[in-house]
Every structure is written in structure tokens, then in C-alpha cells.
Structure 1
Amino acid sequence: MGNKFMNSQSSWSDLPANNVVVGPGFKFFPSREILSSSYPLSSILDDKNTTIWALWHAGTSASTQQDAIRKGNITRLILPNPLEAPIKELANFIGKEYEDIVQDIIASSKEAIDKRKTQDNERLLSITERIDLHWYSGITPNSIMIGNPDPLTQDSWIQIENLIPIAPNDRSSYRLIYGQTPFKELFKKIVENYKDLFLNKSIVPSGNDILLAIDKNKSIKRMDPVIEKLFILDLNAVLNKLLDNNQGSKGYSIQSIFLAITGGPLFSQCIVNDCIKHYISLMKDKFDSIFTHINTQYHQIHPIITGSNINDVQIRSICINISNLIIEYCSCVNDFLKMLENLESYSVNMIWNHPPYSITINRDLADNYDELMSLVKTLKNHIPSDFVDCLPDEQHTRKFPRKPM
């Protein structure tokens, strides 16, 4: 095959008019628009001599715009499982709304099921010639269509659209024709992989599955644009303040204050035994851990709230995560203050009640703690009432317990 490929290289060409790369049994298309101009989906579907296996992300264009399921001779169709597949990640990746993708999957699924019922009632086609819908719960790879896959013929073809994070119309794709391509082993491998996915790694959705998906989609609502803007601004402020209050490079953060006090000359007088040394070491590990946790959550949440519309599912998840981070931060602050109180039991009263540490605790730590809690309360005022309970309660947003100086 290698020699055949080398000998055929001279027949490959790059057409400057539309940048379509053409070779023996191979064509590369830089965009969906250029692909459609060469191979309109309508003409593919109208060819009743072509049996098609398809793997789609939702079937939005093919199903809703081209009526592909009703018109085309599709015998196998794999769609993402709207109940289990990572559709949120897919939505973020391709820049579409999560609820729109779910709605399109449901619509395509219902159309496939309705067509199968009609085929079963008419009994004009054999079982293998009727459409068979499956749902896949994993990450959906590139969109694939295979023409006349079983058995393979000279005219069998594969069309693959590359899944990359750009607008659908700008995605590149390529086609292989089995009888002409030197990449026959690649062609066969793609067909084998599709068979394995269809037979072993996907499920046949029941009528109840469709109803559950419909109910799930109904529960997803978009926030009012004005409220959403305020919510995102407040949420962003809470996230940034939470990150700053725990970041070691910030002089007023709990971690910096802890390190400044425990590393200072006066504090060395408080280290009366190995037990306290071990306790301080554990506290340091806890501060490191919470900052790592907050930093990770920040980088997961921030792209969502700076993207397009945010839905109810995302709001609930984000608020629960924020609440857990606030509670974890409060726990660290309380443990730190408890450590100081424990040292006072050894008659070491210079830490909490006397400068310079008392000023740092009552001013820097306390002020930034109170500012964070104030931001959380503001966030609760701008969030839909359905999600208020997902944020920290009053017990975890109380003011810092300052001591008189």
C-alpha cells in the first residue's frame, strides 16, 4: 500500500479556488459550506441505493434542516445519551447552549423512533434495512457518516467532520471512497470501530428514556438577562475574593498571615513542645490544600460564567461548589483562631491581644473575611430564589469574631 500511495502522490492536487485537497479516493474540505457545495446532504439522502450509518453530535443540521432521518436510508444512528453523556462539556467545546443540544438530540431520537415504528408497521424492509437508534454515554468523537458499509463495495464512502472548538460552519472534514483510496486499512478500521461502538458500547433507548430526557430538558431554564448579568458580576467578585483571601502571595490572605505569625521571632517562644509543632505543620498543609481546591474550582467555574447564557443546572452546581468552598474557608479561619486560643492556655497572650499580631488579625484577616461574607450576601440577593439555599447560610456568613484591643 505504501508504494501505491507514493506512486499516486503526483495525482494529488490543491484547488486554490476553495482550498479543497483532492487525491485518489480522498477529498479534504476546509469548511462545512464547501463540503455542502460539493456533496449536498440532500443529494446523499435522495440516493436510495446508499445505506448510511451515522454518528452525530445531535443531528441539528441533518435532522431539522435537511430532514435526513425521514428522507435518508439511515439504518444505524448513534446519538449522545441526553441522560448520561457529557453534553455540558460538548456544549462548551463547540460554543452551543447545553439545553439546545439536548433538545436537538431528543428531536432526532423521536424522529428515528417514529420512523422505525412506521417501518415495522409497513414491513416493506427487512429488519437490517430499518433504522436502528442507539445512545452513547461517553464522549462523542468526530461526526461520522458511512455509506454502504456492510458489505463494503467499490462505491462505499466515509465522511468525517473534525470536532474542533470553532463554529460548526468552519469545521473541516474529509471523505474517503473505498474503491479508490490507498487508505483501505484506515477505512476498514473506522467501520470496525463504528460496529464496536454500536453493538457493544451503546444502548437502545426506551420510550421511558425519551420521556426522562424530555422532563430533564423542561427543567433547564435560562436566567433573565438582567438578573444573569448581576449574578455573574457578583459571582465573579466572590470567586476572586475567595481566591485572594487564600492566596499565599497576598499579604492579607489567611495563608500569608498564618505563615507570618508562625514564622516570626515572637512565635518561637510559643513553641513549647513537639505536639504544637506537629499541629502547626498540619495547619499549613490544610491551608495549602484549600488554596489548591479553590484554585481548581476557580478555573472550572470561571469559563462558564464568562461564556454565553448560563442555565439552571449550571447555576445550582456552581452555587453548591461556592458554598462548599466558603464553608471550607470558614473552617480554616476558625481552626487558625482556635490555635491561637489554645496557645493562650499556655499563658502566651502576645498573639491575639497585643501588637503586632493582634493588628494583623483584627484588621487584615478580619476585614477581608468580612468583605468576602458581604459579597456572598450580595450574591444571594441577586440569585433566583430557587437557588438561595445552595449558598452558605447565616451561620457561615457571620462577621469575623474580633477581639477588643
Structure 2
Amino acid sequence: MDAASLDAADPLAHLRDRFVGAETDLVYFDGNSLGRPLRRSGESLAGFVAGAWGSRLIRGWDEEWFDLPLTLGDEIGRVALGAAPGQVAVGDSTTVLLYKAMRAAVAARPGRTEIVLHRDEFPTDRYVADGVARECGLTVRWIDTDPAAGVTPDQVAEAVGEQTALVSLSHVAYRSAWLADAEAVTRVVHDAGALMLWDLSHAGGSVPVELDAWGVDLAVGCTYKYLNGGPGSPAYVYLATRHHEALTQPVQGWMGSTDPFVMGPAYAPVAGVRRFLSGTPPVLAMVPLRDMVAMLAEVGIDAVRQKSVALTSYAVALADEQLAPLGVEVASPRDPARRGGHVTLAHPAMAQVVAALWRRDVIPDYREPGGLRVGLSPLSTSFAEVHRGIAAVREELERQASAARGS
């Protein structure tokens, strides 16, 4: 089916008009790194400056802002994470929350000596785990897999044991888009007596997540990808209710204390997930995030996933038709049940191709070795956009090949 027919049949096509820039000819293949802003968010930010901030001033803390990391966290949990109230908090960056979660988890498993990760995890996850291991006298045990795929439950079972304190993995792999079997992996980790931490940065708002049903212990995710919170928008952390009294994060700040406004002489962590907060939360940065979470609630994550599968499947079909004859390989799972919201296309010339595409307002991103990522944010991307973008990739590859022959 051609792009026009697919767009005409798409029940979510009208939602594209709600995003800034969607009316232009720019092809945006990087929604899995930074989502387009909602038009509504400009109005919301202006209204916040004039209203809640401008007129209520410091009273806003008593009226809403103090609890906003938790109320917004509850809504993200309900809409995108399969988490009951009281388990998700918003604040800090993904890196900081990963550190807090990892450090708290290994402290809750004294005597165990290993943290288990996939060797192709996103660099921040690997760097934080390495730092926590050195800080706590632990070692990191690595799982090696095909970079075009991801970690399986059997591979995790081979890596964990009585020395495993924590396993930390991405639900959707940043390079390949491999969609892990989170429920099965979590079960394997628990059978070994360890805790499970999922990085949801490429999953939250794109694929259905059921943290409570899967028995997950901790999870962290960013909000500037499929949750369209904007550059540097705050991350979220999930802490299962059963761990609220046992896990304490290491960055002791006033917002996570029992009574912040007593300003007492000693720190005592507050009950619940609020204990994972440290300093003053970024209230202004939560305004666009609330808009996108509301839109996601309106649409439903299942409809988002259905559109995402259709977009990535279309991209794979176009790559097979137009790019495979030029030597391009699909470096993502072909089974949509094992694929998240992006597709990686591999070719030795992709670094030069991406640079050329950016100059012509076609915006994918590049990941070594030789990977062009086609990131397809379901609510802001059309099938026609995918078609134009893949055609542009073909044109640049042909241009590269022609130049190489000419030299």
C-alpha cells in the first residue's frame, strides 16, 4: 500500500497537526531522541508564566508544585507504565536517577558482589554502573549479544547467580530497538535473588509497559523522547511499593526528607517514592510534559503501539525495496513483536549520508558502526514522511556511490 493510502486509513493521522513543525516539508526521523513540541505547550508555558508563576508566586508550592513530582508521576504511571499510584516520581536527569536506583538496589543486597548489564547498553547506563561498582567494591558482569538484536531471558539466566545484586537493562535497546521480554527477564532475575532495574527511555510512551504486572523492582526513563517534554525535561523513577521502606537513595536532599519545611538537623527519608527526590523539582519543565501525557491518555498506549508497528514495518519494507540493492542491511529485529519504535539501517557510508541529509532537512541520527536510525514518533509522524525520508536516504547513498566511482 502506498503512503497516501496508509495515511488516509490511519485513525491517528489528524493528531499530527497538534505538533509544531509537522506542516513543513522537514522529515523528522529523530523522535526517539527528542520529540516535536506540541502546539499546546507554547500556550501552556505562557499561561504558566502569567498565571501560576506570575500571579501565585511562592504560593504555588503549597497549591500544587510541591506534590507535582508525584501527581505527574502517578499520571505517567497510569498512562504509560502500568504502575499503580504512589510508585512514580518525576525529577532529576535520567543519569542521576539511574545512579540513585542502582546505588539503592545494591545496598539492599548486602554481600552480593555483581551488577549485570548488556555490553551494548546505552553509555550512561554502563558508565553509571561502572561507577557504582567501583564505589561499592563490586564488579560488573557483562552479557554479550548481537548488536542488531538484544538480551534474551536465557542469556540473563546464564549471567546471574548467587553473587548478583542487580540486573540493569533497557526495555528497548537504543541501537537496535530490540524489545526485551521484560516479564520473563524479571522473573529470571528474581529467581536468582537479585533486583531488576529497567531503563524505559526508548519504551515509555511508545510501547506498552506493565511494571506492576511484571513484578519490576525499579525503573527509570527520560521524558524528552516519546513523552515530548522538551530538551532536558526531567526523568522519572519507579519504585515498587514493596521496596518503599527498604530502599533509600544516596543523594540526601531536603525534598526527600520526612518534613522538608521543618529544616531539621538530621536527614530522615520520607515514606514512599518521594524519598527518591533530592532537590527542588523542575516545575517549569514539567509543563510541556503534562500536555503530552494528557494527549497520550486521550489516545491510549495500545493505539500508539499499533501505529508505531505500522510505521516501522513500512520503513523496513521501503528499506528492503529501495536500500537493500545498495548494500543496506536492517540492523533491527524484523519481527515487530520484538521491535520498539525505531529501525536502524546499516551501511559503511551512513555517517556521510546522515550529514548530507541534515543539510537537506531530513533528520535521522547516526550510531556507530554505520547505523542510521529511523526514529518514528507515532503521533507526529506520517507515512508520507517515512516515504520521503527513505527516498532521500537512497538518493544520498547513490550520490556517495557515484562519487566513489568517480574518484
Q: Report the structure, 1 or 2, having the larger helix content.
A: 1
TM-score above 0.5: no
TM-score, normalization by structure 1: 0.28
TM-score, normalization by structure 2: 0.28
Bigger relative contact order, structure 1 or 2 (CA pairs below 8 A, ≥6 apart):
2
